[in-house]
Amino acid sequence: MDDSVRDITIIGGGPTGLFGAFYGGLRGVSTRIIDSLPELGGQLTALYPEKDIFDVGGIPKILAKDLARDMVTQAMQFDPEVILDEEVRTIERDGEVFRLVGRQGEYLTRTVVVAGGKGAFEPRHLTCPGYHELMGRGVGYTVKDPEEYRGKRVLLVGGGDSALDWALILKDVAAELTLVHRRDGFRSHETSVARLHAANEAGELNLMTFHEVQEVHGSDCVIGATVMDNRTQEARRLEVDAVLTFLGFKPDLGPIKAWGIELDKNRIVVNQLMSTNIPGVYAAGDIVCYEGKLDLIATGYAEAAIAVNNAVHFINPDARVNPGHSTNLAIFKDK
């Protein structure tokens, strides 16, 4: 239980939530960001880190992961509290404040800005036998410390950035590293793909394209996996100690539906102040709907500014909604 009461808690650390946290800092209120992912950036880091973005004002072209990095830098200058790997399950009124209940803890806040995008991102998993049964006992979907895999035979599954990045790191730590991918195309930076093929040719890892995992074997821990060539249906068993999957993320609106907030087709209904039907609860970004809504980073920025400035006024009715221009604000004088 985090018993410190924040002025604004932002649910979602995508572009909208990050810009909201920056604005909270600019207005001098205490801010907290909670995200279900292990890193900030929302869709930009979870879904398309290597794609170029061309339509953010003042930035002609930028990789999504670089924009996410810069948004984090901008937001962090006012030291918001950041809670990652945490999904907010419920929001309830508790006297003067809201109590947010997550998987890991509870959080008190005077106002809430829901910037949940398409919902909480959850990792995609395999559905084959043995996968869920051996989760945490050799099967995993994140790497906390590469040293855990030193000297082990590791089977990695996936074809995106995370799969390739970890393959290139773990090949130097593991006794044997096999990367299985169901196609021969990769959703990753071309430099990583070139390095992967070079490592395969040098015998530093074993790349198996057009293969899928059919079963993970073991009772107390992983002892092997059966992989199948999806062109010939030929199956073969590999002796491995660990199976790590990097299959991307899928959003789940799940809990947000039960918060008592008015929705329209899985989107939160807001007025021009970005206020929901619950006083003190605001929303912004891809999660909201109103006539003319556009799902863009630029739109999310503007909505975040409106939501946060109105939240500031809600907390302190003497505070103006209009923040003034950053060019003139004393808070930036030392920066």
Residues contributing to the site for ligand FAD (CB under 6 A): 11-17, 34-37, 42-44, 47-48, 51, 53, 55, 87-88, 115-121, 255-256, 285-286, 295-298, 300
Residue 222 or 284 having the CB closest to ligand FAD: 284
| The dihedral formed by the CA atoms of 231, 234, 235 and 238, expressed in degrees to the nearest 10 | -80
Kindly report the number of other CB atoms within 10 A of residue 280's CB atom. Answer: 18
Residue among 256 and 274 whose Cβ is closer to ligand FAD = 256
- Report angle CA 227, 230, 236 to the nearest 5 degrees: 25
Shortest distance, CB of residue 21 to ligand FAD, whole angstroms?
Answer: 11
CB-closest chain residue to ligand FAD: 117
Phi/psi for 178 (5° steps) reads -115, 130
Closer of 121 and 166 to ligand FAD (Cβ) = 121
Give me the least distance between CB of 166 and ligand FAD, in Å please: 21
Q: State which residue, 32 or 118, has the beta carbon closest to ligand FAD.
A: 118
Cβ proximity to ligand FAD: between 7 and 87 the closer is 87
Q: How far is the CB of 280 from ligand FAD (least distance, A)?
A: 17
Q: Taking the complex as a whole, how short is the minimal distance between the CB of residue 42 and ligand FAD, in angstroms? A: 2
What does the alpha-carbon distance between residue 211 and residue 260 come to, in Å, rounded to a whole number?
45
Residue 239: C-alpha distances to residues 26, 166, 223, 322 (Å): 55, 20, 6, 63
Distance of closest approach, residue 123 Cβ to ligand FAD, in angstroms: 11
The HSE-up count of residue 285 (CA atoms within 13 Å, CB side) is: 25
What letter represents residue 317's amino acid?
P
